[in-house]
Structure 1
Amino acid sequence: MSWTWEYAFSAEEAARTAAPAFLAEVERKAAELVRAAEAQYLHGRAHNGADPKGGDVAVRGGMFTYQIVVRSERVYVLQLTYLGF
């Protein structure tokens, strides 16, 4: 299994109605988070510790909340907030 990101919970529903430019920014930042997590947790499936604290990322047009789950080698986008700017 390799590192990737995906929408979780209601974020997937919100993504269906958000502006394409906003979603492109979210996807770009999520891909950056994946690369950073992959570099920091080289052996993610064998990780025994707690998952790192998630956070909020501001992007053009709004923000999103994410969580990294190391043993699943996933970055989950939990919530989208589209502000339209």
Structure 2
Amino acid sequence: MKWSWEYDPSEQYAIGGTPPAFVAEVEKKADELVRAAEAFHLDGTQYEGPSPKGDVAHVDSGFFVYLVVPRHERVYIRQVTWL
């Protein structure tokens, strides 16, 4: 399995109606979060620690809420807010 990110529960739910330029910024930041999580959890499928807490990432013109799940090797983008 390879680390990646995805919208949760769906792309439409998380970013529906936001401008494409803002979505591009969110996805660029999500790529950075994936690289960081992959470096921190070399084999996420074997992770047995406590569940990580969600966090907020700030981007130009807004922010998004995400959750890192090492056992899934995923960064889930839960909510996007465009200001």
TM-score by length of 2: 0.92
SS of the counterpart of 2:57? Answer: strand
Aligned to 1:6: 6
Residues of 1 paired with 2:46 and 2:71: CA distance? 7
SS of the counterpart of 1:17? Answer: coil
Alpha-carbon shift at residue 10 of structure 1 (Å): 5.8
**What is the aligned-residue RMSD (CA, Å)?**
1.3
Asked whether the equivalents of residues 11 and 80 of structure 1 are also in contact (C-alpha less than 8 Å), the reply is no
SS of the counterpart of 1:35? Answer: helix
Asked whether the equivalents of residues 54 and 67 of structure 1 are also in contact (C-alpha less than 8 Å), the reply is yes
Asked whether the equivalents of residues 11 and 78 of structure 1 are also in contact (C-alpha less than 8 Å), the reply is no
Q: Which moved more, 1:47-56 or 1:28-37?
A: 47-56
Aligned to 1:30: 30
Identity %: 52
Runs of 4+ in 1 over 3 A off after TM superposition: none
1:9-43 Cα offsets, whole Å, 9 max, x none, are 26632423110111011001000000000000001
Number of aligned positions between the proteins: 83
